[in-house]
C-alpha cells in the first residue's frame, strides 16, 4: 500500500522516537526491502550484527535501523532513523503510511443507499453501492467501502474502515479505529438448532455482536451473533482470515488469532492470548490470560494457567505413519484385554 503524498522523514522519526540522520524533508510514500527500495521508500534492518548483503548499495530513500548499526554499513544517500527496537517502530510507520492511503474524501457516493433514518457523520465516507440500513450510525472519519453493508441499528465507530464487501449485520456494534476486511461477516446467525423427531428446529439467535476499539477482522472471517447474550471481542483483538467465532464467544483484549481457527459457542478466551492457525477450541471452555495455543491444536478442556499448549502429530512419510497407527491400535486392543 502506498501513499501518493507521503510523509517526511522528520515526522516519521518523531513518530517512533528515533534519531534522524540525513534529509528531514524527504518524502516517504511506501515500504520496501533494502534490495528493491527506491528513493521514495523506507526499508528496515532488524539486526545490527546481521545487516542484509548489499545494504550499502540500497537506493532506499530512508532506512530504519538499530541504534548501534555502524554508519559505514549504510548507503550515503539514505536518510537514517535510528531506534532502540526496530520492529515496533516499523509497525508504527507502516500504520501511518497506510492510514494516509486509506483516507477517503468525506461524503456519500451517488450509488450508495442510505436509509433516511440512518445517521452518517459528515466526515464519514460511503462508497459506491454500499448500503446503510435503517437506524444505523456511522461515526466521524469512518469509511464504508464499495458494496459494504451496514445493517439496521448497527454502529460503526469513528475512523473504522470497512473494506469493500464487508458485511456488518443488524445491531452489531463496532468500536473506533477498527478494520474489517473484504468478505467478513459480523452478526450472522449462530448455529443453534433443537432436535425433534429426527429433524432440526432453528433456534432464533437474538443476541448481538459487540466489538471493541482497534480490532482487525480478516477477510472472509465470520463472527456469529449470540443466541441470547452478545458475542464480544475486546479492545485490540486481531483476527486473521477465514476464522469462525461462534455464538456467545468472548475474546479478551489484545488476543491474536491466526487463520482457519474455529471457536465453538460460548467459549471464553482471555486477554493477551495467541492462537495458532488451524486450531480448534470446543464450546463452553475457558482459556486463561496469556495462553499460547500452537497451530493445529485441538483444545478439549479448559486451560486455567498461562503457558504454551500444543497437540497433534507432526507429519511423516505415509508408510511410517501407517506403521505408527497400527501400533497404536494394537496398544488399544491390549488395554481392553
Any idea which residues carry the catalytic annotation? 247
- Where helices occur in 116-181 by DSSP H, the ranges are none
> 289: buried, middle or exposed (CB in 10 Å: 19+, 13-18, 0-12)?
middle
- Residue written as cell 516517504? 28
Residue identified by cell 459506491 is: 128
Core vs surface per residue 271-286: b (16+ CB within 10 A) or e: bebbbbbbbbbbeebe
- The residue among 70, 64, 79 whose CA lies nearest residue 16 is 64
Q: C-alpha distances in angstroms, 203 versus 110, 190, 228, 282? A: 39, 9, 10, 20
For residues 141 and 124, the answer to whether their CB atoms sit within 8 Å is: yes
Handedness of CA 102, 178, 159, 148 (dihedral sign): positive
Q: How far, in Å, are 3, 23, 162, 276 from residue 102 at the CA level?
A: 8, 26, 10, 29
Amino acid at each position: 500500500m502506498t501513499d501518493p503524498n507521503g510523509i517526511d522523514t522528520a515526522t516519521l522519526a518523531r513518530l517512533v522516537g528515533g534519531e534522524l540522520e540525513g534529509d528531514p524533508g524527504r518524502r516517504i510514500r511506501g515500504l520496501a526491502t533494502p534490495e528493491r527500495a527506491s528513493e521514495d521508500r523506507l526499508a528496515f534492518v532488524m539486526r545490527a550484527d546481521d545487516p542484509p548483503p548489499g545494504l550499502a548499495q540500497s537506493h532506499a530513500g530512508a532506512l530504519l535501523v538499530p541504534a548501534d548499526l555502524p554508519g559505514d554499513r549504510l548507503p550515503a544517500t539514505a536518510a537514517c532513523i535510528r531506534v532502540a527496537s526496530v520492529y515496533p517502530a516499523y509497525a508504527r510507520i507502516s500504520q501511518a503510511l497506510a492510514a494516509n492511503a486509506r483516507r477517503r474524501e468525506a461524503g456519500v457516493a451517488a450509488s450508495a443507499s442510505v436509509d433516511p433514518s440512518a445517521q452518517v457523520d459528515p466526515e464519514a465516507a460511503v462508497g459506491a453501492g454500499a448500503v446503510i440500513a435503517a437506524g444505523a450510525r456511522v461515526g466521524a472519519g469512518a469509511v464504508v467501502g464499495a458494496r459494504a453493508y451496514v445493517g439496521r441499528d448497527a454502529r460503526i465507530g469513528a475512523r473504522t474502515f470497512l473494506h469493500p464487501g464487508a458485511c456488518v449485520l443488524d445491531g452489531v456494534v463496532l468500536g473506533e479505529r477498527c478494520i474489517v476486511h473484504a468478505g467478513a461477516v459480523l452478526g450472522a446467525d449462530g448455529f443453534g438448532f433443537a432436535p425433534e423427531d429426527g429433524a432440526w428446529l432453528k433456534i432464533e439467535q437474538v443476541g448481538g455482536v459487540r466489538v471493541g476499539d482497534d480490532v482487525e477482522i480478516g477477510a472472509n472471517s465470520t463472527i456469529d451473533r449470540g443466541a441470547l447474550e452478545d458475542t464480544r471481542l475486546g479492545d485490540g483483538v486481531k483476527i486473521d482470515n477465514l476464522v469462525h467465532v461462534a455464538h456467545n464467544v468472548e475474546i479478551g483484549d489484545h488476543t491474536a488469532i491466526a487463520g482457519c481457527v474455529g471457536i465453538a459457542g460460548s467459549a471464553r478466551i482471555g486477554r493477551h492470548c495467541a492462537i495458532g492457525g488451524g486450531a480448534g477450541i470446543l464450546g463452553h471452555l475457558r482459556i486463561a490470560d496469556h495462553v499460547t495455543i500452537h497451530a493445529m491444536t485441538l483444545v478439549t478442556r479448559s486451560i486455567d494457567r498461562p503457558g504454551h499448549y500444543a497437540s497433534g502429530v507432526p507429519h511423516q512419510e505415509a508408510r511410517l505413519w501407517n506403521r505408527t497407527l497400527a501400533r497404536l491400535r494394537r496398544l488399544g486392543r491390549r488395554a481392553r484385554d
